[in-house]
Amino acid sequence: MLRYCRSELPAFLTCLRRAVEIESPTNSPADVSRLARFFAKELKRLHGKVKVLRHPTAGSSVWAEFWPEKRPRKSVLVLGHLDTVWDKGTLRRMPFRTRGGRAYGPGILDMKSGLACGLWAIRALRELGISPSTPVRFFFNSDEETASRAFRKQIFAEARRARAVLVLEPAAAGGALKTARKGVGEYRITVYGRAAHAGIEPGAGVNAIAELARLLLRIEQLARPLRGLTLNVGLIQGGTRSNVIPERATAVVDVRVPRKKDGEAIERKVRRLRPVHPEARLEITGGINRPPMDRARALRLFRKARALGRALGMELEEASTGGGSDGNFTAALGIPTLDGLGGVGEGAHALSEHVIISELPRRVALLAALIATL
Ligand SMILES: [Zn+2]
């Protein structure tokens, strides 16, 4: 398996380059759909039954099925996302390139190398005449980077038909697999005050910015960093000009929760917030949109991957992360889920984003071995 995967590395890199050069920012559905069609074509060439799933506002997702005739019917689900956080045109200042054993480009680590690993794992199994004992299904989602709203139902439905979910997100540092992820939430907090002339009748106004500032200090105190419960006020907007008492101010807060009950506690506390000024009005929308991925769901799969990894000369560690993925959903449904099976590298969402080229054949071989033996 490993020998085959190593011999295929040049072809793999060509495919990876093509995927990186089809830019696919979440906010540009037509571009995400173009990448969907690219992967659909590649999956078809591997004799998969393939569907491109359209959506009225988001880009298309890709669904594929291999070995549908196998019994038992419960599949191995390979999960990935097509979208990236990089705006269209990033390629001009951050082109695909290889240097010093690394391959660079927007979305190459998160997660186009992972998608290519999925493709090549099937190719390896086909070429070596290895047939898994269950059907294998793929779901490449189009809007993971913005909370996976468009195809969430379909992902849930596929997960329920699966015995195990393998997520192609990048590996943690040193190639570690991800066995736990924090839950993710987002709250949009808007304060409505009353506008007035700041000089002529300052007492007639209710300052929404001042009110929001007081609230944010209280919100920051809800964090429990030692327990891993963190908050970030990441965005703030309000006011029109300095001589007008602002009528409206909004903040968006990102929340990360290690356990389900932390999410429930935060939800209760945020909903209980009240304005200090009796005439200010508060509107809170949002909530926890990805439940935590519980390590217990991953352990059996991780042990299996570690044993297979040893046979491939890898010493695989496990890691937990504050970042969410679609694995959060499948684990919360109770389906065994192992994450971080994609490329090994650094700089996801950063200009230095890259994968280590020599690790790619082993990642493909590991994925193929998992698919073949689950
Ligand atoms: Zn990702």
Res 360: pLDDT: 98
Res 23: pLDDT: 98
Ligand 1 centroid–CA 229 distance in Å is 21
Identify residues whose C-beta is under 5 A from ligand 1, the ion: 110-111, 169
Cβ contact 239:278 at 8 Å? no
Tens-place pLDDT, residues 91-121 = 999 999 999 999 999 999 999 999 999 999 9
Residue 249 CA, chain-centre distance (Å), reads: 30
User: What does 11-72 look like in DSSP terms, one character per residue?
Assistant: HHHHHHHHHHHS--BTT-HHHHHHHHHHHHHHHHHTT-EEEEE--SSSPPEEEEEE-TT-SS
Residue 42 and residue 112 in one domain: yes
* Domain boundary pick from 274, 290, 306: 290
Ligand 1 centroid–CA 3 distance in Å is 28
On the question of pLDDT at 72 being above 80, the answer is no
Cβ contact 367:305 at 8 Å? no
Res 156: pLDDT: 97
Contacts of residue 250, defined as CB under 8 A and 6 or more positions apart, other chains included, come to 188, 189, 190, 191, 212, 235, 236, 237, 238
Residue 271 and residue 322 in one domain: no
Residue 353 and residue 285 in one domain: no
The candidate with the shortest Cα–Cα distance to 170, out of 374, 360, 371, 370, is 360
Mapped onto helix, strand or coil, the DSSP state of residue 195 is coil
Residue 280 and residue 354 in one domain: no
Res 344: pLDDT: 98
* Domain boundary pick from 272, 290, 308: 290
Ligand 1 centroid–CA 111 distance in Å is 5
Res 73: pLDDT: 83
* Domain boundary pick from 270, 290, 310: 290
When computed from its CA atoms, the radius of gyration of the chain, rounded to whole angstroms, is 23
Mean pLDDT of 244-265: 96
Residue 10 and residue 153 in one domain: yes
> Which structural domain, as residue segments, surrounds residue 207?
183-290
Residue 113 and residue 228 in one domain: no
Tens-place pLDDT, residues 260-276 = 999 999 999 999 999 99
Residue 170 and residue 69 in one domain: yes
Tokens of 7: 């011999």
Ligand 1 centroid–CA 313 distance in Å is 26
Ligand 1 centroid–CA 144 distance in Å is 7
Ligand 1 centroid–CA 349 distance in Å is 9
Res 146: pLDDT: 86
Ligand 1 centroid–CA 124 distance in Å is 24
Residue 111 and residue 225 in one domain: no
**Phi first, then psi: what are they for 164, rounded to 5°?**
-155, 150
Place of tokens 């991800």: 178
Ligand 1 centroid–CA 122 distance in Å is 21
Mapped onto helix, strand or coil, the DSSP state of residue 98 is strand
Tokens of 280: 């200010």
Mean pLDDT of 23-51: 97
**Phi first, then psi: what are they for 76, rounded to 5°?**
-100, 125
Residue 357 and residue 278 in one domain: no
Residue 49 and residue 143 in one domain: yes
Question: What CATH number did the domain enclosing 197 receive?
Answer: 3.30.70.360
Q: How confident is the model at residue 168 (pLDDT cuts 50, 70, 90)?
A: very high
On the question of pLDDT at 321 being above 90, the answer is yes
Question: What CATH number did the domain enclosing 129 receive?
Answer: 3.40.630.10
Cβ contact 148:198 at 8 Å? no
Mean pLDDT score across all residues of the chain: 96
Local structure of residue 85 (DSSP, 8 states) = S
Residue 48 and residue 95 in one domain: yes
Ligand 1 centroid–CA 341 distance in Å is 11
| Tally of domains within the chain | 2
Provide the percentage of residues in the chain whose pLDDT is more than 70. Answer: 100
Residue 172 and residue 219 in one domain: no
